[in-house]
Amino acid sequence: GAVVSQHPSWVICKSGTSVKIECRSLDFQATTMFWYRQFPKQSLMLMATSNEGSKATYEQGVEKDKFLINHASLTLSTLTVTSAHPEDSSFYICSARDRLSSYNEQFFGPGTRLTVL
């Protein structure tokens, strides 16, 4: 149980284009999903918290107009990197919290590696 998928797993795009990344909870409902970014040999940095049916909460320093988050259902959240630039190249990981879990732990997806040329 508690499986989270991400699509795509790897994407290369040209500078200036937009990229959408999907995060799905496959066997549980997630009212809250989280988006992280991880640079090589560094830890996960929380970008934003996504709540089903409401606007995402962004961490300080994260541009909400650049990283668009939509959480339209209890099993799907999307992150769109708009007008991507090479400095946006990173490993993007989502996590989801099982709304029925008493422990509130987050289950992570396998990550999406974005390379912007």
Partner 1 sequence: QKEVEQDPGPLSVPEGAIVSLNCTYSNSAFQYFMWYRQYSRKGPELLMYTYSSGNKEDGRFTAQVDKSSKYISLFIRDSQPSDSATYLCAMRAGGGNKLTFGTGTQLKVEL
Interface with partner 1 by CB under 8 A: which residues?
A: 4, 6, 32, 34, 41-46, 49, 91, 93, 95, 97, 103-111, 113
Cβ nearer to partner 1, comparing 15 with 42: 42
What one-letter code names the amino acid at 61? G
What is the dihedral sign for C-alpha 52, 60, 105, 110? positive
Label residue 31 exposed, middle or buried (CB < 10 Å: 0-12, 13-18, 19+).
Answer: middle
Least distance (Å) between residue 111 CB and partner 1: 5
CB of 31 to partner 1, least distance (A): 11
**What would the two tokens of residue 86 be?**
């090479």
CB of 16 to partner 1, least distance (A): 26
Q: By C-beta, is 75 or 106 nearer to partner 1?
A: 106
Identify which of residues 47 and 84 has a Cβ nearer to partner 1 in the complex: 47
Q: Which parts of the chain are beta strand (E)?
A: 4-7, 10-13, 19-25, 32-38, 44-51, 57-58, 67-73, 76-81, 90-97, 106-108, 112-116
Least CB distance from residue 108 to partner 1, whole Å? 4
CA separation for the pair 45, 38 (Å, rounded): 6
Residue 12 or 83 with smaller CB distance to partner 1: 12
